[in-house]
Amino acid sequence: MSDTAGFAPELEITDPDENESAAEADAPAAQPTTEAAPEPATTEDEPAEDEATALAYPNAGEWVNGWLLPHYRRQLGGSTRRWDPKWWHYEEVGGALEALWQAWEHLRLEPGTGIAVFYRDYLYPIMDQLTAPDGPFWNYHATYDPVRSNIVPPAWETTPTPRGWFREAGDPREQ
């Protein structure tokens, strides 16, 4: 057994451009072909690969204000649900709502049951967890109006997220 058993040999780190040119020099010359490669077929319903689908909302903060809170209304307070208007201060909530927004952006374009799947698999379970009495807002206390029967609760209050808090469309980290 040698002294280096169990250790990886040292690797030499080189410039990637140098590796490319060395690999090209060692590679056999490409043979010309007479047949053109077939282009991938697309249907009218499918966008071409180079067409980027536009986002309905540029980031999670805009989506929370523009879609989520108007569409998800529950009675707040007491022992049932909690919500902080500065929800973006909570790392867990910000991450979960960003994931929820991304799922919505994807599933809103799915034909048929896409949005139903979003509600069932994403919206209800995640929002139930986030607003649960033992969820991230467990220690947030605000005075809420008493429950009034047969009235749809108002949309929850929110304050705008600071610019740059979430990735925007075209962010280099998304490519």
| Residue pLDDT, tens place only, 9-67 | 343 434 434 444 444 444 444 444 445 545 545 445 555 443 568 999 999 999 999 99
- Domain assignments of the chain as residue spans, ordered by start: 53-143
Q: Following DSSP, what letter does each residue of 16-44 receive, concatenated?
A: HHHHHHHHHHHSPPPPP-SSPPPPPP--T
pLDDT at 55: 95
Convert the pLDDT of each residue in 68-96 to its tens digit: 999 999 888 767 889 999 998 898 999 99
pLDDT at 49: 43
The pTM of this model reads 0.57
